[in-house]
């Protein structure tokens, strides 16, 4: 049987569908699936070894949360261009060099969003330009302290945890 998809909501950031899919054993099942264009996130590194974290107000979780800069991919946009834009907008830094850390699926149980993860180096200050609906505080933190924040449960954001842990592993932490 052909996949059946019914649109429930189409917004600026996501679409929600009711979709019928054939399972590997042949049965049909209905799923609520959030469709997302994907995004990119960046772990900015200062010359002194500190990582640039942000504290951002997130209404979905009821307050401020520790994160790394990230954004949604525009149609046809390269993930590296996306993180370059978001790094400047959210932190007021521009990077001269980039390294791809990997990618992740953010919420595999109900969403198809793929997030590309980067490390940015050789930062220089530039004017920040957060979007009208963003409230952001920029907080440079020593890498070891950021990793301890993950271990203590202070950093709950998955893309931030994964980026810090992957980079920390590469650095021998």
Active site residues: 134
Computed from CA positions of residues 171, 70, 123, 150, in that sequence, does the dihedral angle turn out positive or negative? negative
* Parallel, antiparallel or unpaired: strands 15-22 and 4-10: antiparallel
DSSP-based helix, strand, coil % in the chain, nearest 5: 20, 45, 30
Tokens at residue 131, please? 């979007």
Q: What is the DSSP code (8-state) at residue 147?
A: H
**Listed residue (129, 151, 123) closest to 51, CA to CA:** 123
The pair of structure tokens assigned to 69 is 């800069």
- Contact present, 134 and 56 (Cβ < 8 Å): yes
- Token pair, residue 128, equals 């920040």
């Amino acid at each position: 049987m052909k996949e059946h998809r019914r649109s429930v909501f189409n917004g600026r950031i996501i679409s929600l569908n009711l979709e019928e899919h054939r399972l590997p054993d042949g049965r049909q099942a209905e799923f609520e699936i959030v469709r997302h264009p994907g995004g990119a996130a960046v772990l900015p590194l200062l010359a002194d070894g500190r990582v640039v974290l942000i504290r951002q107000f997130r209404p979905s979780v009821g307050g401020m949360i520790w994160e790394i800069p990230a954004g949604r991919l525009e149609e046809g946009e390269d993930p590296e261009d996306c993180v370059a834009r978001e790094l400047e907008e959210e932190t007021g830094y521009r990077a001269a060099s980039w390294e791809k850390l990997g990618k992740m699926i953010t919420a595999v149980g109900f969403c198809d969003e793929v997030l590309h993860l980067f490390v940015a180096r050789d930062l220089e200050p530039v004017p920040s330009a957060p979007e009208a609906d963003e409230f952001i505080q920029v907080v440079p933190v020593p890498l070891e302290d950021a990793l301890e924040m993950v271990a203590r449960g202070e950093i709950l954001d998955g893309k931030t945890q994964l980026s810090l842990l992957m980079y920390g592993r590469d650095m021998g932490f």
